[in-house]
Structure formats: C-alpha cells, structure tokens
Amino acid sequence: MSETHTNETSIKKILPLILGTAIFMQMLDSTILNTSLPSIARDLNESPLNMQNAIISYVLTLAVFMPASGFLADRFGTKKVFIFSLALFSIGSLLCAMSQNLTHLVISRVIQGVGGSLMTPVGKLALIKTFDKNELLKAMNFAIIPALIGPVLGPLVGGYMVDYLSWHWIFLINIPIGVLGIVLGFKFMPNYKSDDVDFDLKGFMIFAAASLLLSISLELFGDLQNTTPVLVVFILGFLFLYYYYRHAKRSGTPIFPLNLFQVRTFRVGVVGNLATRLGISSVPLLLPLMIQIAYKQSAVTSGWIIAPMALTAMFGKSYVIKILDRYGYRKTLMVNTFIIGTLICLLAIPNIHSSLYWFVPIIAILGFFNSIQFTSMNTISIADLRNFQTSSGNSLLSVNQQLAIGFGIAFGLIVLKLFENTDLIEGEIHNAFRYTFLTVGILTILSGFIFRRLHVSDGKNMQSKEDK
C-alpha cells in the first residue's frame, strides 16, 4: 500500500515537469525560428521570403492533427502516444538540422508538427486525469509557465545561437530536452486509455479542414496587398465549422460533442481565451517589431527588452493560487483582464525620443498578470468537465488556444497595417505602433466582460483542501 502511495506521489511530483518540458519545447520552437530565417535562407540558397514556408508548414500540421489527440490518447493510451510524440518531435528536429534544401526543411517541420500536435494536449490530458480537481490548479500552474517563457526566450536564444553558433543549433537544442522527456515519460507517465472509443472520421476531416483553412488565412493575413483570397479562405473556414456543427448534431459519437458547450465554465473559458489573446498574443510580436523598425535597434536588444516578462511570469505563479482562493475566478479574471489591457495601452505612451527602458517595467508587470491569466483561463475551462468529456474537451481547448494565438498575431498585424496607411501617424511609423497598442489594449479591456458570465462560486472545486 505504501509503495503504491509512494509511486503515486512520485508521479504527481514529476508529471507537471514532464508536461512543462513538452510545452517549453513546442513554444520555444514556435518562436525561435523567426530570428533565424535570414541565416537559414543564406545557407540553403533560398530567398528569405520563401523561408516562411518552414513556419507555415509547422503551424498547419498542428492545426490538422491536434483535433485527433484526444481520440489517439483514449485508443492507444496517454503514455504510448506522449512518448511517440516526443520521439517524433525530436527526430523531426534532427532532420531539420540536417536539411540540405528548403524542401527537406519543410518535410522535417511537418514531422515535427505531427509530434508537436500530440505531445502538449496528451500530456495535459494525463495531468487532468491524474490529479483531483482540488490539486489540479497547483499542478497546471507549474506546467503552464513554459508557455509564458517560450515565446519570450525564443527570439533571444535564436538571435544568440545564430550569431555565435549556427542555425542548426536552434533545432539540435530540442534533442536533449526531448530525450529527457522520453526518459521521464517511460518512468512516470500514466497510461490512461478507454476501451469504448469510436473514431468520428467524418467529423475529424471536417473539423481538421476548418482548422486548416482558418490557420492558412491567419498566416496570410500579414500580407494585406491582396485581401480577397485571404477573406475567401477565412470565410470557408467558418463555413466548415458550421458544417461540423450540423454533423455533430446528427452524429452519435462526434469527435467534439456539442454537450461540451452546455458546460458554462468550459464555454466561457473557450470564448474568453479566444477574445483576450487578441491583445496578449500580439504584444510579443509588436513590441520587438517596434523596437527594431521605429527605434532602429537590433533583434538581440529587442529580445532583452521583452525578457523580463519571462522572469515575472515565474514570479506570478507563486501568487495565482492565493489570488484565486481569495477572490474567485470571476473577479480575478475580470480585474486581471482589465489590468492587462491597461498595461498594453501604456505601451503607447513613450514617444520616439523616450528611452527604451520605459518599456521594461510595463513588460515586467505584464508578465506577472499574464501568468495569472493563463493559469486561471486554462483551469476554469476544465473545472466542471465530467470524466467522459475530458479527452475531447482538452483537445478542443488545445485547438482553440492554437487558433487564438494565431488570431492575436494576425489581428495585431492587420491593425498595424491599417494605421500605417492613414494620415493619423503623420509620417511616423512609431505612431502606427502606438495606435495599435491602444486599439488592442482597449479591446482586451472589453474582453474582460466575457468573464461576467461566470458565477461567484465557479471554480470552488479547484481550491486546495486546506482552503476549504
């Protein structure tokens, strides 16, 4: 009995670390490539503009395979699928480093993408199934920190690796992390599975098509020279979502059951995640862009300006549980979203003659409140899901987060380009960035009202035993 208890305690200690490893790899890999594209292009004798295919291929692969993560985990077991996904991601990383031309690199990124589409949702599912509701907040809070650190460290680490080593190392760095995850996975990852599993192939194809079309449109939104095809693809994506809705109403076992949206906390969490990330996801892109374009500083300088966000995010995780226990999810998320929106607006205050150091305290405080936001949104979304809903609900939440980040980046670029082409900026590109920060900041503040639909008592089942 004591041996079983000891083993269970070890699993509960190590499992958040395993999930954190997977999230860190994926988030770092999603951002580290951006600063390295010109260097890779030179080495592969390609135009830097064509190198965007290396990013798009990865994002689209995530969009296609992520919806299947819940079914695969139920069918083959969380342990097997998670270890397989880490191995595939690591092999893909090695192949990326060995690529001799752009075609090889794109194929390798697709292999990476298949691994990446499974490892985070499946690792998170294992966490949800292992921990009781009153322990889950603490575990998720620890595992979610890499999601905040990865996008901040990615450009900085990528810049240094390209300058002092070579671009190959931005992929090779994944291999020791992946091996560590595989070793820990073999020893500590539980193998949850379900015998009663039917795969909704038609539903998967429809939803994957919707996810793929929306992702393509988001990747193309950065280029506003020709908006008509982009809008056509975007609208097609939503038509496929509607087609999936019709299919799910008729199907006995849809891949994402519609009864998930009858769970109010899940519904609010999904919509809130999508809305608030419009502002949150655009900042790590817009601020470094402004520092490099308007202030004429290097990529490494912009990376250092935004780096404090990662440190304060780690600091914030030690307070989020106390804050949620004291104020509850409803008040925390409403107030926290208002603070984040206000901080984004404050980024518009420094003018072109201000010191860059004005941005550091704003970014540092933003990292702290982002930490609270992500932990709160992720845990309230799954707070009231039943056991039979966790696999599909967790997969849908992962797809939603992936699309939400894409929407945030695309939205930030669209607003920036719109202001760039107006007389408001008076010929100063810096003013276009300032108006963009104001716009996304105000919309972030307004998105906080979504959380009014939560009840004061929502999330009480996530409180630790000592606080009850």
355 lies in which domain range? 259-468
> Which amino acid is it at 249?
K
Q: Let me know whether 129 and 160 are in one domain.
A: yes
Contact yes or no for 111/95 (Cβ under 8 A): yes
Tokens of 289: 């862009």
Residues 278 and 154 both lie in one domain: no
Query: How far apart are the C-alpha atoms of 352 and 227, rounded to whole Å?
Result: 31
DSSP state of 132: -
Q: Is 176 found in the same domain as 205?
A: no
Q: Are residues 290 and 173 in the same domain?
A: no
Number of domains the chain is built from: 3
Tell me: do 364 and 263 sit in the same domain.
Answer: yes
Residues of the chain short of pLDDT 50, as ranges, are 1-6, 465-468
Put simply, whether the predicted model's pTM sits higher than 0.75 gets the answer yes
Q: What gap in Å lies between CA 212 and CA 234, rounded to an integer?
A: 10
- Please give the biggest Cα pair distance in the chain: 74
Token pair of 153 as six digits: 């460290």
Tell me, what's the pLDDT at 231?
81
Element (H, E) at 168: none
Out of 254, 286, 321, a domain closes at 254
- C-beta contacts of 425-431 below 8 A and 24+ residues apart: 428/294, 428/352, 429/293, 429/294, 430/290, 430/294, 430/295, 430/351, 430/352
The 10s digit of each residue's pLDDT in 396-405 is 888 888 788 7
CATH number, residue 67: 1.20.1250.20
Do 266 and 375 lie in one domain? The reply is yes
Q: Is there a single domain that holds both residue 301 and residue 441?
A: yes
Is 408 in the same domain as 348?
Answer: yes
Say yes or no: 204 and 320 in one domain.
no
Task: Return d(Cα 300, Cα 435) in angstroms, integer.
Answer: 25
Give the CB-side neighbour count of residue 210, counting CA atoms within 13 A. Answer: 18
Cα dist. 91→59, 84, 127, 246, 309 in Å?
18, 10, 25, 39, 31
257 Ramachandran zone, left/alpha/beta (phi>0; psi -120 to 50): beta
Q: What is the pLDDT of residue 307?
A: 77
Residue 331, CA distances (Å) to 30, 139, 310, 357, 448 in order: 32, 22, 25, 32, 10
DSSP state of 263: S
**Alpha helices (H) along 165-226:** 169-172, 174-188, 201-220
**Cα angle 220-207-333, degrees, rounded to a multiple of 5:** 75
pLDDT, position 466: 45
Q: Are residues 174 and 295 in the same domain?
A: no
Single residue among 208, 228, 254 that ends a domain in this structure: 254
Helix/strand/coil for 17: helix
| Pair 219, 356 in one domain | no
Residues 148 and 28: beta-carbon distance below 8 Å: no
Q: Which of 178, 196, 214 is the last residue of a domain?
A: 196
- Same-domain check for residues 159 and 172: yes
| pLDDT tens by residue, 258-301 | 888 888 888 898 899 888 988 888 887 788 778 878 888 776 77
